[in-house]
Structure 1
Amino acid sequence: MQAVIQTGGHQYVVEKGHLLVVEKLAGEKGSKVVFDQVLLINGDRVQVGTPLIAGASVEAKIIDQNKGEKVVSRVYKRRKGYHKTKGHRQQLTRVEITGIVA
């Protein structure tokens, strides 16, 4: 059974047992998380939400909280000798999908 969930402004296709990296979620390592914004479920029959499926959810367990790769941006002004460098590392959460409730 597959489901399409929405979290952190992104949509993901998930199955039971999948490992998924999403935007930072509140919670400690090992705690359970429920995604209730389910857009589609593909099992023995396909359910499509308008836009969400009422009563459907996806359960997951938090595996790890970490940071993504560093993104470096530079600001430069010509002829002025001015330049600035900024870096950013997005905080991410790795989850394991434990179940899909239709």
Structure 2
Amino acid sequence: MYAVVDVKDKQFKVQEGDTLYVPYHSDADADQELTLDRVLLVSDGDGEVTLGTPTVEEASVTARVQEHVKGDKVIVFKKKRRKRYRVKRGHRQQYTQIAIESLNVNGSSAASSTEEETDASGQEDDDTADAVPDAEPTEA
């Protein structure tokens, strides 16, 4: 089971147990739990996909903040030839490292939703067995 979440206008595909580097959350401390409510897509392992408009109702992702880190240094070098103009500046983007703990779909966690799906699939098979197949079209 996986989901696509929107974290500060960036989209990430997440599964339980994943570790991600998301844009910096200044208000989150280390070992604090975050709830990501903007779930754009949810898919179970069987290929059934739920697409939100724009978000999936009652779906959320629970994550835990591990630490705040800095990315690789980016060098910004400006030069105008024959003008004695050179400027060298660097920048390190800040990120928050989070670990995905659980995917909650329709108010329940991923583990309980898979149990419900197996029960529902057993009931659906009984309903489809009782249905009468459509008659084949006859040629005129």
What's the RMSD between the two structures over aligned residues? 1.1
Counterpart of 2:60 in structure 1 is: 57
Task: Give the TM-score of the pair, scaled to structure 1.
Answer: 0.94
Query: Partner of 2:92: helix, strand, or coil?
Result: strand
Where is the strand percentage greater, Structure 1 or Structure 2?
A: 1
Q: Which runs of at least 4 in structure 1 moved beyond 3 Å after TM superposition? A: none
Residue type at the aligned position of 1:11: Q
| Distance apart, 1:80 and its partner CA | 1.1
C-alpha distance in 2 between matches for 1:93 and 1:55: 25
Q: Which has the higher contact order (CA 8 A, sep 6+)?
A: 1
Counterpart of 1:97 in structure 2 is: 100
| 1:40 equivalent in alignment to 2:41 | yes
C-alpha distance in 2 between matches for 1:89 and 1:9: 20
C-alpha distance in 1 between matches for 2:9 and 2:60: 17
Q: Matched residues, percent identical?
A: 36
Where is the helix percentage greater, Structure 1 or Structure 2?
A: 2
Task: Give the TM-score of the pair, scaled to structure 2.
Answer: 0.69
Q: How does 1:78-93 map to 2 (within 5 A)?
A: 78-93=81-96
| 1:27 equivalent in alignment to 2:28 | yes
| 1:14 equivalent in alignment to 2:14 | yes
Residue type at the aligned position of 2:37: D
- Structure number with larger C-alpha Rg: 2
Show structure 2 runs of 5+ residues with no match: 106-140
